[in-house]
């Protein structure tokens, strides 16, 4: 089974026969013992340090359908190397564009996506509400905001509702998480530890969704809830809205409340809080464990991983756009 590999150290990546050779550098730039990755075992690479590579290496990665996702020092997702698409469909592309350009159809799909996201956020809050946290007032507010989703026929208004839902949702983090205070969402830069984890986790979720979209016939630049723009894969933002409560927020609650990540795993630099390397490794491992965790799917009647749930969501979007079957967003049932 292919695996995801995370490169935290700066280094040089090169092809050696049918193997990937990664030579890490220490703080002084000296080469360390190389690590060899059999290419048939590699699904994708996440690079958090400076990477030296040449076009021959990327040609090899493209041929082997291996994606590479890049993050800068401040944990911002900066871009991806994606192999040439192998599941190209002109029919799918035309249908996706027409669907996006039809105001009524776009609004309807955007409402469905946001409804799924809000439901999963509330599901998280209800989980902790039954465990001694008084979250009923926040749950009620989000419920009232969610009721307005179907009432609007404007994308900007819909995004405004989404912003208000998240604002109230994030207020619950200070009640759920022990020993750390969030004190509201701060984006660029993240001003405290919880915000640093949210930003880092969201970037991980976006890139995971992007990789999955590329495994289907969907075009990642044509979105419905978020406005399509230049130089961004906005459909991955749409898809991530549904899965961030499940894949990111639950992991944050786990690593902080179980003290897997503590104050010493963060550092302040350039008026922002970022994770140290050990903290990144701990979070990435917890995130990877979450992706591979399985549940019994009620419709398929078999065990599927959380990672596979993202692909199933893409297939549901395809069927909706092709008007084969109405899209019903993924909603946690446990």
User: CB under 8 Å to 305, separation ≥6 — which residues?
Assistant: 291, 292, 293, 294
Q: For the chain, how big is the Rg over CA atoms in Å?
A: 20
Tell me which residue of 222, 217, 211, 242 sits closest to 318, measured CA to CA.
217
82-122, pLDDT tens digit by residue?
Answer: 887 666 788 899 999 999 999 999 999 999 999 999 999 99
Report the pLDDT value the prediction gives residue 86, as an integer from 0 to 100: 64
The band of 77, judged by pLDDT with boundaries at 50, 70 and 90, is: confident
What number is the average pLDDT over the span 51-78?
89
Place of tokens 């698409």: 85
Going along the chain from its start, the domains and CATH numbers come out as 3-71 (3.100.10.20), 90-321 (1.20.120.920)
CA distance 76 to 309: 25
Q: Judge whether 220 and 210 are in contact, CB under 8 Å.
A: yes
Tokens of 269: 């630099």
pTM over 0.85: yes
Burial 276-305 (b: 16+ CB within 10 A, else e): eeebbebbbebbbebbeeeeeeeeeeeeee
Query: If you ran DSSP here, which 8-state letter would residue 280 be given?
Result: H
Degrees, nearest 5: CA angle 166-168-170: 65
């Amino acid at each position: 089974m292919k695996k995801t590999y995370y490169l935290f150290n700066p280094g040089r990546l090169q092809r050696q026969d049918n193997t990937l050779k990664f030579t890490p550098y220490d703080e002084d730039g000296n080469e360390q013992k190389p690590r060899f990755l059999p290419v048939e075992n590699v699904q994708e690479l996440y690079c958090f340090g400076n990477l030296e590579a040449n076009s021959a290496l990327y040609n090899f990665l493209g041929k082997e359908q291996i994606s590479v996702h890049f993050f800068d020092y401040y944990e911002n997702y900066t871009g991806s190397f994606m192999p040439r698409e192998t599941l190209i469909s002109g029919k799918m592309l035309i249908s996706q564009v027409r669907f996006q350009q039809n105001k009524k159809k776009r609004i309807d799909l955007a409402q469905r996506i946001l409804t799924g996201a809000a439901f999963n956020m509330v599901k998280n809050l209800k989980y902790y509400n039954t465990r001694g946290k008084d979250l009923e007032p926040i749950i009620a507010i989000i419920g009232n905001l969610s009721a307005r989703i179907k009432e609007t026929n404007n994308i900007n208004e819909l995004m405004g509702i989404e912003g208000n839902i998240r604002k109230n949702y994030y207020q619950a983090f200070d009640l759920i998480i022990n020993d750390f205070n969030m004190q509201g969402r701060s984006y660029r830069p993240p001003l405290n530890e919880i915000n640093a984890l949210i930003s880092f986790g969201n970037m991980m979720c976006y890139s995971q969704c992007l990789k999955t979209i590329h495994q289907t016939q969907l075009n990642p630049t044509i979105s419905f809830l978020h406005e399509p723009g230049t130089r961004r894969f906005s459909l991955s933002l749409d898809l991530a809205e549904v899965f961030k409560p499940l894949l990111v927020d639950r992991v944050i609650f786990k690593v902080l409340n179980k003290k897997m990540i503590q104050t010493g795993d963060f550092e302040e630099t350039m008026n922002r809080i970022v994770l140290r390397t050990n903290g990144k490794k701990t979070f990435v491992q917890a995130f990877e464990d979450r992706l591979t965790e399985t549940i019994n799917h009620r419709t398929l009647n078999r065990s599927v991983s959380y990672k596979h749930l993202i692909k199933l969501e893409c297939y549901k979007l395809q069927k909706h756009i092709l008007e084969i079957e109405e899209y019903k967003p993924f909603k946690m049932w446990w």
